[in-house]
Amino acid sequence: MKDLLILHIGAGNHNESLNKKYATLIKKALSKNSLIDAAEVLENSALTNTGFGSSLNMLGKVEIDASFISYTADGSEENKPSVKMGSLTGLKCRNPTEEMARIFSEIDQQYGQLDGLVAPISLNCTSLKNYMDINEDDDDDLISIKSYNTFNAYKKDATSNIKEQEVSDTIGLIQINDTEVAMVTSSGGNYFKLPGRIGCAGVMGAAISFKEEQDYMICCMCSGNGEQIIRDHLATSIIEVFDTSEKSNYGQYLEKVLFETDPKFYIGFVVVFKRYDESTATLVYGHSTESFYFGYKVGGDSRAILSFREKKGCFTFGEYLIQL
């Protein structure tokens, strides 16, 4: 099986004049062989809402949420699969995915020496840094020109319509190979959020989720209105809806269920479905936002997709059958 890397750079309302730059960014990230390296490319870009270029809260500060899921199986019947997950809130660094991996690796080492104690899954970095070293960058080193200008425009006129601003929300990545599925997500959250607000990237099962059965697996990544995504545990909910729907008619079924849940959903998602005995994977995406940008790579072949909403008040859906 060829390695499969899938990523998205947020559902929202992207500036179409920057489409070439968005496509180039997606391709550059997909050119990397590891999930952490691909995430670093996205996080270092001012085009995304995480790491450098994160949205600013009401105090003009950066607060990043992130989470991960890792599923490892060696294919033998003797060893049970290993599932790890975790989330962090209050990160303030250029590369939250790498820092999250480092923090949870250190936590695993510590708790591996403590008999009877269960390692935590969700942590707040503002408090955690009083106990262990956490890499932090100055806000000035994380604020892009776009974020700075948006924040100052709002300060001058607090009655301005925030929704008219360019929106590019939570990012996410999935890497799948013969023995492992790894998922990560991170976000600076929405513009002018209350300090301490936790977005969907910091809540397990909201922005990313994973389900494994005996003969297949399903992954889901979500982006968009964080409160809606958290409230409905959306990534997990979409997996369950997709798992029970007719795969030949997933679009209508998903749209019906999602809009019955909330007719004002402002979200985008990617679902990856793979049967273990098949050499293909199905990628399904949908969004009610103005745009949703994502891409995937199989082996050395990559593709960037810039999807635009076909009709206001409806979901736009698409599907790719990926040969592995």
DSSP for 54-107 reads PPP-TTS---EEEEEEEEE--S-SSSPPEEEEEEEEEE-SS-HHHHHHHHHHHH
**8 Å CB contact between 86 and 199:** no
Separation between Cα atoms, residue 43 and residue 114, nearest integer Å: 34
**Which strand (E) or helix (H) includes residue 131?**
none
DSSP for 232-263 reads TTHHHHHHHHHHHS-GGGHHHHHHHHHHHH-T
DSSP for 171-217 reads EEEEEE-SSEEEEEEEE--STTPPTT---GGGSTTTSEEEEE-SSEE
User: Which of 170, 185, 289, 316 is labelled catalytic?
Assistant: 170
The dihedral formed by the CA atoms of 246, 249, 323 and 83, expressed in degrees to the nearest 10: -50
Q: Catalytic residue at 170?
A: yes
**8 Å CB contact between 44 and 37:** no
**Which strand (E) or helix (H) includes residue 149?**
helix 145-156
Active-site residues: which are they? 170
